[in-house]
Amino acid sequence: MTLFLNNDDVKAVLTMEMTIEVLEEAYQQLARGEAACPPPLDIDVPGHEAGRDYRWGQMCGASRVSGYFAIRMKSDVRYEQHYEGVRTSEYYCVRPGRFCGLIFLTSTRSGEPLALINDGYLQHFRSGADSAIGSRYMAREESSVLGVLGSGGMARSHVEALRLVRPIRKVLVSSPTRAHREAFASEVRERYGLEVIVYGEPRPVYDCDILSACTDAALPVIRGEWLKEGTHVTSVGGSPDDETVRRITRSLRLGTATAPIGLPHHRVPDERLIYSAFPEGQGRRKRAHGIIAEDRAVYFEDLLAGRKKGRLSAADITYSERGNVQGAQFFSVGSRVYELARQRGLGRELPTEWFLQDIRN
């Protein structure tokens, strides 16, 4: 039987400690050539309503060690809006407040469809875990103050993840909406016993050891002119500005997607590959970014092999990013969720025969 797992099922079995563990192992498998994944792929199509466009997104990967393949699929109507003086990227499926993100997990041993998994809760965890892995290798060991730009689900997962790898005792958070930032602060205080200070504007948040951008802003939000020496920076929403990139001393990239067989020059660093059905001159025409501060970058595989070091001094401003290996996240975390849910009898069973046919493809 094939399992359907919703976000409540995922929440019942997934922990941040587990997420960090399986993601780091997946990145090590990629470095050893034991797993493969292409860059994420987006397809953009004009919408049928002014200012709203359609985007299909997919990320996939497989491991020969674990015996799993996964593809994460998203179906979004996207638009931009101005909110509290900030331009944000918004999206929905069918209607605002509803979203379609699914992970399809299969066995590489038999080809069997194993599970369909809602991706919402899992994707917040995998993003927070990435920042924790990067901070484990790049942030100063004594880092105790976390600055967060944003107060949504990603901000929450970052607090949970980063406190596992550094002795976080204080959180500084900036969010334009008072109710959101106050709710975030109350939750973090109650759940983790941390000191939390909230701000309506971002400048004070930069008085931190680790700065994490967790916003849906459509423009760069990390201001390089405000960064203190010794800060480690992560970003899962809201990119660094040019001054930030200029000031980065060392940048860690956790992985780069594998190249197609016989085409090594197609191992591109782009965060995603974008295809468009927009008429010429319309739509999103800019490539996704490649390696941040490429001339100062160190790669995870080089750290593991001892060929290079991460942070070189306490004064370094460091940065860490996942790279374009999201597909590895979903076969690793998705398979662990599936195994634990199966053990605990969670989810809804769907006849596997529904996914099979007797016509050869």
CATH code at position 193: 3.40.50.720
* Domain presence at residue 275: no
pLDDT number for residue 235: 92
* Domain presence at residue 39: yes
Task: Indicate if 152 and 193 belong to the same structural domain.
Answer: yes
Question: DSSP secondary structure string, 51-118?
Answer: TEEEEEEEEEEEETTTTEEEEEEEEEEEEEEEETTEEEEEEEBSBTT--EEEEEEEETTT--EEEEEE
User: What letter represents residue 266's amino acid?
Assistant: H
* Domain presence at residue 222: yes
- Region 106-124 average pLDDT: 96
Task: Indicate if 76 and 43 belong to the same structural domain.
Answer: yes
pLDDT digits (tens, 9 = 90+) for 205-233: 999 999 999 987 767 889 999 999 999 99
Task: Indicate if 190 and 98 belong to the same structural domain.
Answer: no
pLDDT number for residue 278: 83
User: Under DSSP, is residue 171 helix (H, G, I), strand (E, B) or coil?
Assistant: strand
Q: Read off the pTM.
A: 0.91
User: Per-residue pLDDT for 90 more than 90?
Assistant: no
- Region 260-276 average pLDDT: 90
pLDDT number for residue 143: 97
- Region 202-206 average pLDDT: 96
Q: How many domains does the chain have?
A: 2
Closest CA to 202 of 223, 231, 179, 230: 223
User: Per-residue pLDDT for 47 more than 90?
Assistant: no
User: What's the pLDDT band for 285 if we cut at 50, 70, 90?
Assistant: low
pLDDT number for residue 84: 63
Task: Indicate if 230 and 332 belong to the same structural domain.
Answer: no
Task: Indicate if 97 and 135 belong to the same structural domain.
Answer: no
Task: Indicate if 313 and 170 belong to the same structural domain.
Answer: yes
Look up residue 296 and give its two tokens.
């100062």
pLDDT digits (tens, 9 = 90+) for 2-26: 999 999 999 999 999 999 999 999 9
How many helices (H) and strands (E) would you count in the chain?
A: 8, 18
Q: Residue 88 and residue 119: Cα distance in Å, rounded?
A: 22
- Region 116-124 average pLDDT: 95
CA distances from 250 to 233, 289, 311 (A): 11, 17, 7
Residue 351, class by beta-carbon neighbours within 10 Å (0-12 exposed, 13-18 middle, 19+ buried)? exposed
Task: Please give the DSSP secondary-structure letter assigned to residue 141.
Answer: T
Residue 93 belongs to a domain with what CATH number?
Answer: 3.30.1780.10
User: Under DSSP, is residue 5 helix (H, G, I), strand (E, B) or coil?
Assistant: strand
* Domain presence at residue 281: no
Domain with 347, as residue range(s), is 2-122+327-355
Task: Indicate if 188 and 222 belong to the same structural domain.
Answer: yes
- Region 166-172 average pLDDT: 98
- Mean pLDDT, all residues of the chain: 92
